[in-house]
A = this chain, B = another copy of it.
């Protein structure tokens, strides 16, 4: 469909199409935008991409971190000497309670939870659980890192693991899957509470939400 487009735009569109949530049509629109109008945005993007080289994943929670924002493992509570990468600012924060671990699928889930300012434990970014119902090796490795951490720091049992999955049937399924994988690793395994969202209306709440709100009334 793009035969009328110059080669460089087609190539850039092909690259943009590889990004999550960008379809072929939006990729073309973006490539044309970048070609036609925006030297400034183009420079910003190129600079931004090249600066990414510094970014690594936190060796404990797998949140992206850069040398500026993280600290060396030795400075964190419960740091293990076999972790060679940097710790992120959360994992290296000694004032946080590292025996409470929130497992989330996405980095953006962590950001939203951090914005509440109400969680003072640490995280594990698991990545999106695939729909086939079993984990690929790299996700098993992340859970393995958590297990090693809990074994070394808390003699095999953390205080609490919160399964921060979405309140959907897929999220429920994934939580069950991960709970099995983590069996016995924490004194308490919990999920985020369900009920009426702030700003919602009782009249329009679905049965499940309203039922959960009744169960969790306070």
Q: Which residues on A are within 8 Å of B, measured CB to CB?
A: 1-9, 11-12, 14-16, 18-22, 25-26, 28-36, 38, 41-42, 44-52, 54-55, 57, 62-66, 68-70, 88-90, 106-108, 110-112, 114-115
Contact = CB atoms under 8 A, between A and B. Distances in A.
B12 A52 contact: yes
Contacts of A64: 5-6, 9, 32, 35-36
Contacts of A47: 11, 15
A7 to B, nearest CB: 6
Nearest to A106: B29
Contacts of A70: 6
A3 B62 CA distance: 17
Given A6-B66, A66-B6, A18 B44 contact: yes
A7 B68 contact: yes
A15 B108 contact: no
A37 to B, nearest CB: 9
Contacts of A41: 15, 18-19
23 contacts: A3-B114, A4-B110, A5-B69, A7-B68, A8-B52, A8-B55, A11-B44, A14-B48, A15-B41, A15-B47, A15-B48, A16-B45, A16-B48, A18-B44, A19-B30, A20-B29, A25-B108, A32-B64, A32-B108, A34-B49, A35-B64, A42-B52, A45-B49
A214 B170 CA distance: 47
In the A-B complex, the 4 residue pairs with the smallest Cβ-Cβ separation, listed nearest first, are: A12-B48, A6-B66, A15-B44, A8-B51
A141 B209 CA distance: 56
B26 A21 contact: yes
